[in-house]
């Protein structure tokens, strides 16, 4: 084993050497501004467009439907704010779910302050949105539905085809436009995503979840979808995201996605085996442990488990001392002492919600590491419970 065991790949991933190698020339020698007209700058422009084409091919869209951003949060914000502002003359109603990433939830909360109406759909105990609930929530004034493809804390995968089908049927019967957005930050590279077949309008994604660089992401915007920019300046990215493009990271993003897509079968096979091994051993060996999320319809590399009678933070500290890195949920909320909004939305008792740990895998993890994690975790939970009595 290495000096540490990294089981927080849903928070971020290690950049692959091949990805880094693809970026270096654009940091060292090919550093021209892609907006410059001379050939040196146009070399950078060509690298951006080649990367755009690679990403578009994998998710089955036109290259000019891809907008590069600084990451998943910006992509979610652009999708929510940009479409809401562009569509407000047609309506002011937005539908999302109660387990979305805060980049979506907080954006919707801000829009509520501006007069937009937002419905936050409930989920069942597994974290699934009901198509019936979605259908009942749609109004003649509904302009946007935003439901994530797979949850970042519990890994539950939504029934996207039926959810989108409901929206399209209501859209046709009401004779109005309803945009469908999905946060696919955790899904990209792990699931097959075909935006054309799915009939989706907006899709957010990020590079650093798939062994790419941090600070780069993208937003698929279906041609013809109303959208207003959030940044203003030089008019880059079809005037929707002004600012000099991050060429090296864009190239790295495309390379990372190509690798992830080609290795997806191996990734899912290896990670699901490790995930199930860890889950089964914890539930068997540690009393008062409970699996969160859907038992089967979930991402291959995420497992979330609650431990009764203890809190997540001291468990993480104990794991850290043992050289094991995991998390208590979303990395963006790691400083919060409140129970996870995702787990509370599934109806989990707050006492159990504060004692939840998320483990997220990569193919570089091993069965030997899982054995060590279970052994150390068992001791940590046992000691914490004894201290609490």
Separation CA 8–CA 365 (nearest Å)? 11
The string of pLDDT tens digits covering residues 120-138 is 999 999 999 999 999 999 9
- The answer to whether residues 347 and 279 belong to one domain is yes
**Beta partners for residue 218, in sequence order:** 68, 205
CB contact set of 262 (below 8 Å; sequence gap of 6+):
none
Separation CA 204–CA 75 (nearest Å)? 5
Give me the torsion for CA of 276, 126, 14, 274, rounded to 10°: 0
- The answer to whether residues 208 and 295 belong to one domain is no
CA 191 to chain centre: 12
- The answer to whether residues 112 and 230 belong to one domain is yes
- The answer to whether residues 328 and 363 belong to one domain is yes
Q: pLDDT value at position 329?
A: 63
Q: pLDDT value at position 333?
A: 47
- The answer to whether residues 277 and 243 belong to one domain is no
CB contact set of 75 (below 8 Å; sequence gap of 6+):
69, 185, 204, 205, 206, 217, 218, 219
Which among 244, 262, 280 is the end of a domain? 262
Which residues of the chain fall below pLDDT 50?
330-331, 333-334
- The answer to whether residues 184 and 267 belong to one domain is no
Q: pLDDT value at position 37?
A: 87
Residue 337, classified by CB atoms within 10 Å of its CB into exposed (0-12), middle (13-18) or buried (19+), is exposed
Q: pLDDT value at position 123?
A: 98
CA 231 to chain centre: 23
The string of pLDDT tens digits covering residues 248-281 is 999 999 999 999 999 999 999 999 999 999 999 9
What does 67-126 look like in DSSP terms, one character per residue?
A: EEESSHHHHHHHHHHHHHHHHTTT--EEEEETT--HHHHHHHHHHHHTT-EEEEE---TT
Which among 198, 232, 262 is the end of a domain? 262
Report the domain count for the chain.
2
Looking up tokens 């569509």 gives 87
- The answer to whether residues 317 and 376 belong to one domain is yes
- The answer to whether residues 115 and 207 belong to one domain is yes
> Which CATH number characterizes residue 297's domain?
3.90.1150.10
- The answer to whether residues 156 and 218 belong to one domain is yes
Structural domain for 119, as ranges? 17-262
- The answer to whether residues 239 and 282 belong to one domain is no
- The answer to whether residues 283 and 363 belong to one domain is yes
Count of all residues that appear for the chain in the document? 389
Which among 262, 288, 308 is the end of a domain? 262
Looking up tokens 């080609």 gives 262
- The answer to whether residues 147 and 251 belong to one domain is yes
Contact call for residues 261 and 58 (beta carbons, < 8 A): yes
> Which CATH number characterizes residue 27's domain?
3.40.640.10
> CA dist 63 to 74, 79, 149, Å?
19, 18, 22
Instruction: Kindly list the catalytic residues.
Output: 332
């Amino acid at each position: 084993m290495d000096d540490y065991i990294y089981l927080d790949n849903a928070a971020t991933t290690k950049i692959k050497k091949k990805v880094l190698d693809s970026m270096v020339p654009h940091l060292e020698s090919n550093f021209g501004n892609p907006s410059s007209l001379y050939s040196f700058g146009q070399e950078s422009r060509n690298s951006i467009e080649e990367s755009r084409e690679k990403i578009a091919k994998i998710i089955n869209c036109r290259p000019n439907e891809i907008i590069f951003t600084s990451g998943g949060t910006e992509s979610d914000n652009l999708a929510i704010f940009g479409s809401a502002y562009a569509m407000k003359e047609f309506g002011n109603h937005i539908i999302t779910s109660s387990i979305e990433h805060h980049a979506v939830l907080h954006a919707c909360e801000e829009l509520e302050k501006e007069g937009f109406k937002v419905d936050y759909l409930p989920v069942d105990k597994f974290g699934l949105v009901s198509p019936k609930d979605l259908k009942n929530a749609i109004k003649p004034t509904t302009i946007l539905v935003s439901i994530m493809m797979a949850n970042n804390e519990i890994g539950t995968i939504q029934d996207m085809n039926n959810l989108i089908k409901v929206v399209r049927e209501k859209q046709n019967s009401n004779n109005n436009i309803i945009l469908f957005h999905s946060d696919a930050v955790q899904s990209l590279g792990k699931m097959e995503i075909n935006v054309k077949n799915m009939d989706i309008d907006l899709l957010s994604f990020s590079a650093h979840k798939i062994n790419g660089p941090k600070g780069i992401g993208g937003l698929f915007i279906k041609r013809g979808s109303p959208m207003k920019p959030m940044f203003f300046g030089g008019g880059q990215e079809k005037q929707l995201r002004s600012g000099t493009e991050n060429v090296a990271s864009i190239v790295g993003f495309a390379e990372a996605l190509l690798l992830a897509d080609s290795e997806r079968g191996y990734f899912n096979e290896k990670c699901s085996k490790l995930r199930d091994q860890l889950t089964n051993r914890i539930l068997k060996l540690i009393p008062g442990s409970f699996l969160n999320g859907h038992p089967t319809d979930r991402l291959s590399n995420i497992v979330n488990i609650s431990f009764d009678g203890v809190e997540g933070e001291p468990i993480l500290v104990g794991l850290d001392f043992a050289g094991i890195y995991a998390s208590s949920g979303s990395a963006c909320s790691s400083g919060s002492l409140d129970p996870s909004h995702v787990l509370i939305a599934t109806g989990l008792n707050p006492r159990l919600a504060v004692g939840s740990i998320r483990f997220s895998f990569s193919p570089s993890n091993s069965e030997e590491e899982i054995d060590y994690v279970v052994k150390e975790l068992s001791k940590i939970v046992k000691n914490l419970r004894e201290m609490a009595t």
